[in-house]
Amino acid sequence: MSTSLLYALVGIGLFSLSLYGLIVHSHLLRKILALNIMGSGIFLVLVALAGRTGEAPPDAVPHAMVITGIVVAVSATALALTLMLKLAAETGRAELPDEGRE
């Protein structure tokens, strides 16, 4: 077991936990949090696996991808939060309508 393997497994754990959270919660702010944690899990796997270069410095390509990914994720979060606020202003609740139940 190496450090990169440890963090890659943590990344997968984060992905699965937030998959559960994403499905279970109907509140949209919680879904946004879950998606963000999910993204962090994926980034962690990418960067951890980039470290499998032995003594050489880690692979720079996944690092570059993750940096842009972090910046894009925050702007997507801002858009999602605005959408949620718009929905809450229209319907009075921060949830998607569930037609099967109501």
Partner 1 sequence: MEALTLLGWMFDGLLGLGLLWVAWRALTSPDLFRAIVLFIAFGLLMALAWVRLEAPDVALAEAAIGAGLTGALLLAAFAKLSSITASGDEKQADSARIYSHQLYWIAAVALLVAAGLGYVILSLPPYAAGLSVEVAANLQTSGVSHPVTAVLLNFRGYDTLLEMVVLLVALLGVWSLGGPAIGRGSAPGPVLDMMARVLVPLLIMVAAYLLWVGAHAPGGAFQAGAVLGAAGVLLLLADWRPRAGLMGWPLRLMLVAGPAAFVVMAALLYMVEGRLLAFPPAQAGMLILMLETAATVSIGVTLAALFLGGRPQSDKEHT
- The residues in 56-85 that bind partner 1, with binding defined as CB under 8 A, are 56-68, 70-72, 74-79, 81-85
What whole-number distance in Å separates Cα of residue 96 and Cα of residue 102?
12
Total of residues contacting partner 1 (CB under 8 A): 78
Is position 96 an interface residue for partner 1 (rule: CB under 8 A)?
A: no
What whole-number distance in Å separates Cα of residue 55 and Cα of residue 22?
38
Q: Which residue has 């999602």 as its token pair?
A: 80
What whole-number distance in Å separates Cα of residue 41 and Cα of residue 27?
21
9-28 mask for partner 1 (x: CB under 8 A)?
A: xx-xxxxxxxxxx-xxxxx-
What whole-number distance in Å separates Cα of residue 44 and Cα of residue 18?
14
In this structure, which amino acid lies at residue 8? Answer: A
| Minimal distance, residue 23 CB to partner 1, in Å | 5
| Minimal distance, residue 42 CB to partner 1, in Å | 10
